[in-house]
Structure 1
Amino acid sequence: MNESPALAAPFTDQDIEAIALGMVECRLPKERWTHGAHWAAALWLLRYRPEIAEPQAMGAAIRAYNESVGGVNDDTSGYHETITIASLRAARAELARHGYDTPLSQILAVLLVGDLGKSDWPIAYWRRETLFSVAARRGWVAPDLGELPF
């Protein structure tokens, strides 16, 4: 998940759909589950499958995907509820800002060159020890450094 925005390959709308469906259907190769792919899946699911983009359903989908590629969802790795909810809020705000007619590839390209394109973006809003606590991984923990702008 540490890809730099400058190194992120451009995504087509077809790429974005394939990533989202590949994650949900547990067939996306693990090496394709990059920081950009996380955003691609969030944007596509929010627009086309909003029932999956609800926190509980998204959590189940991500946990299943992680396990399908040999990952573990425990107190130190795998699914992270606070980051997922914050990311969904950010992706939803980006979709609203750009409008429904804007291709997802354009929205994703703008998102990836901004602050959200850095995999450590949540550190601006949470202390590391808060963000990486078991409580934050298992449930929503509000930011302790500043309000989310979305």
Structure 2
Amino acid sequence: MEKGHEPRLFPDDASIRHVGEGLLACTFSRAEWTHEAHLAACVWILVERPDLVPERDLPDVIRRFNESVGGVNDDYQGYHDTVTACFIAGVRLHLARCDARRTLAGKVNGLLLAPQGRRDWPLRFYSPDRLVSIEARRSRVEPDLQPLPDAI
């Protein structure tokens, strides 16, 4: 685990649905929008919202949410396309390896304890300079250290 960043696990499925539904409805608080909440929302969408495609829909959902809580999406803050795409790939990889019979909370908490759930997971694939670039924030850029793993 990263120092000082033990993951905050979810007590039950309802707490994850609260995150996902609150994100979509923009009723979630800014303080609740943690790293863990980002990943929980992505798992929830992939498991319970087949009408949504994270790669297609999450960029606008996150931008809209950020603005709803007074945030700004620009070249230096707010939505980051490459980080989002990298974590979507990590969530897909985790779910492909995860026992489908696990509860929603079991899937999310397992992810948060797995390498794909670590805050620094994108740095396995991207150098820090590439990842913090304006280009990477605006649109998905390809990794410069190693390719992202396939979920299949």
Give the drift of 1:88. Answer: 1.1
Aligned length: 148
Kept after mapping to 2: 8 A contact 1:5/1:118: no
Kept after mapping to 2: 8 A contact 1:53/1:88: no
Q: Is 1:4 aligned to residue 5 of structure 2? A: yes
Give the Cα–Cα distance (whole angstroms) in 2 for the partners of residues 30 and 149 of structure 1: 31
Matched residue, 1:124: 124
Q: What is the SS of the residue equivalent to 2:27?
A: coil
Matched residue, 2:100: 100
Kept after mapping to 2: 8 A contact 1:5/1:112: no
Map residues 42-121 of structure 1 onto 2, 5 A cutoff: 42-121=42-121
Moved over 4 A (4+): none
Root mean square deviation of aligned Cα: 1.8
Kept after mapping to 2: 8 A contact 1:10/1:109: yes
TM-score with structure 1 setting the length = 0.89
Gaps of 5+ in 1: none
Give the drift of 1:65. Answer: 0.3
Identity %: 36
Q: What is the SS of the residue equivalent to 2:23?
A: helix
Which segment drifts farther, 46-55 or 107-116? 46-55
Give the Cα–Cα distance (whole angstroms) in 1 for the partners of residues 101 and 4 of structure 2: 28
Give the Cα–Cα distance (whole angstroms) in 2 for the partners of residues 46 and 11 of structure 1: 19
Give the Cα–Cα distance (whole angstroms) in 2 for the partners of residues 57 and 111 of structure 1: 21
Give the drift of 1:52. Answer: 2.8
Give the Cα–Cα distance (whole angstroms) in 2 for the partners of residues 146 and 134 of structure 1: 20
Give the drift of 1:3. Answer: 7.1
What residue identity is the alignment partner of 1:73? N
TM-score with structure 2 setting the length = 0.88
What residue identity is the alignment partner of 2:21? L
